[in-house]
Amino acid sequence: MAGVLTLGQWLGGPDNVKVESTFPSSQKTYAYNFGQSISGWSFAADYQAVVVNTIAYTRDGEPNFTDSQVLGYFPSGNIAGSNIVVTSTGAGTVQVTHPANLYPTSAGILPDSRINVPLLVVSFQWTIPGTSGSPNTVNIHRIAKIMAWEPGVDPRDPTTIAGNNYTALV
């Protein structure tokens, strides 16, 4: 067995995750519309990169992780609160920016590879205060970003570079 967890087990299920392909140097802002007042809500975001042994693709070019196993991971980190902007408390709109270089360029990516692929998982969490003695409600939305090689990134297997803070699970 190549890993101890399937990708779905690591991420929390396929229905909870949006998947896209991007470069380590890319930055992107996502808009959330909760459709209600978000007064009193709190927000946080974090990230972690995992390495999966293989990624297959459907005929439509969509990633298929059915046979993917998590080989290992890199340390997690927090995304600064300044990257989470409430644009309207009353309307319930928030913008979350995933900054560039969350995946370190020194960690390596194999060019045009479908094996030992880094997958950056970004989690956006919102907490809704409980009322009348009920507990808070905590929700999480995840976006998995398939890291693609680009100039400036070590063109090497991320599982074999010494000193890059990679932890193997097998």
Distance CA 118, CA 145 (A): 8
| Predicted confidence pLDDT, tens digits, the chain (170 residues) | 445 555 555 555 545 578 899 999 999 999 999 999 999 999 999 999 999 999 988 898 888 888 899 999 999 999 999 999 999 999 999 999 999 999 988 899 999 778 999 999 999 999 999 988 899 999 999 999 999 999 999 899 999 988 889 999 97
Q: Which two tokens stand for residue 134?
A: 């009920």
Q: How many residues does the chain have?
A: 170
